[in-house]
Structure 1
């Protein structure tokens, strides 16, 4: 079966510094891939390559077996650790903005029945992330957890096939973080997403993921540490023994 996303011999180099080398990954549709590794191992660089923010120095990416253009597109959504919301727009208008940009790229504004339909779709998405009572708030009036819910709504409003998460819950308090874990797991299932998440939290990686990848360097030269890049050194498929919304690190086993 053809993988949804295939990375073939991906390299990322900045001048003479090699960040990633020989990255070969096949990611199946519907999987939740957690990416872990030491700081500086190229985790965020890999996410930027998949998103299309960065062009790999070598290699190619395929989506459904076809070359993936090195540019951001509606098939990929992203949520960062820092809340990527517009401070001058309300919750509802933050969310509907993505639809307006997609449907009216020249003026980023819809009118009449098209605008009413877009607003209704945005309200449904905000209900899905638990913000149905906050439509007219502005980001400055919201907690960190609420702003991250809004960022997730922004990412999902255009129905991407792949959702990229770059340390999305790292700045949240433990209680709010647990709520966000339950939310992202439900959205992953409800919207049939393929999720790729970078995290430094091992428990988070194993609790949420169906697969855990470790990026690190296979080769090191103390005299020229910049000349070797990171790659996938471990690739662990996981099996959960209970429904994902209730999953914990103790409810996960490695596939044989």
Structure 2
């Protein structure tokens, strides 16, 4: 399970109110796109879900349990700026999380445990189409390949919730379309809930199961300190998209292809 429950959350920095009375329930395996103008609190909300920030008021629950006060392996994150380590190879980047969680003091695995981790990392690289460049360094990869690597880094830790902060905004349109197709496939294949911040409305409606808009209802200069942003729209996508299930309308695009019986 990976249900998120946000109950009457406020976030304030001193006298500045950023988020005001935000409540939302995100069902397991949903793909939620957060949209809104710059400064409407989308990234702050994502940081609250990650655990980088704590609510001033209200609470956030994952499967009914309060979120820990710091980031953990149950929540993966991918940023617009590729969060990869330039001194490590592609394989080393994907291995690092498993080594650090499996051996916190040495940050390195040995013997059978390392062999199993290497096999798992290579399987993940194959899923994102990078198995042929595992010994290259990030500087030798294109932008699209680096973003695939960042996705592999996050997904190899098997997060229950994957958080995406404008992850495809810096990519060229053609590469972005390829990454969108990859993201759809990974969402269908991995048991996770996805929450993505984007300024691209077409991207939001292409990928998400619902689109949630953040907005400051009171945005005059003299009101910006006293009032924060809240959710003003929550739009379910039609026809519904469900992880692991084909779409009856566009089975090849919005979900796994429908199995067609072969005539004998």
Q: Same fold (TM over 0.5)?
A: yes
Once the two structures are TM-superposed, the CA of residue 222 in structure 1 deviates from its matched residue by: 3.6
Deviation digits for residues 21-75 of structure 1 (CA, Å, limit 9, x no counterpart): 1010100001100000000001100000000011111111111111111210111
1:46 aligned counterpart, secondary structure: helix
- TM-score of the aligned structures, taking structure 1 as reference length: 0.93
Once the two structures are TM-superposed, the CA of residue 192 in structure 1 deviates from its matched residue by: 2.4
For structure 2, the residue ranges without an aligned partner over 5 or more in a row are: 240-248, 256-264
Q: Which residue of 2 aligns with 1:89?
A: 88
Contact 1:35 1:196 in 2 (8 A): yes
Deviation digits for residues 190-223 of structure 1 (CA, Å, limit 9, x no counterpart): 0122110000000000010100000001234442
Q: Which residue of 2 aligns with 1:25?
A: 24
Q: Which residue of 2 aligns with 1:47?
A: 46
For structure 1, the residue ranges without an aligned partner over 5 or more in a row are: 248-256
**Correspondence list, 1:101-180, <5 A:** 101-180=100-179
Q: Is residue 211 from structure 1 mapped to residue 207 from structure 2 by the alignment?
A: no
Distance 1:24 1:246, change over 3 A: closer
Distance in 2 between residues matched to 1:4 and 1:104, nearest whole Å: 29
Deviation digits for residues 134-162 of structure 1 (CA, Å, limit 9, x no counterpart): 10000010000000000000000110011
Q: Which residue of 1 aligns with 2:251?
A: 243
Deviation digits for residues 153-197 of structure 1 (CA, Å, limit 9, x no counterpart): 000011001110000000000000000000000000001221100
- TM-score of the aligned structures, taking structure 2 as reference length: 0.90
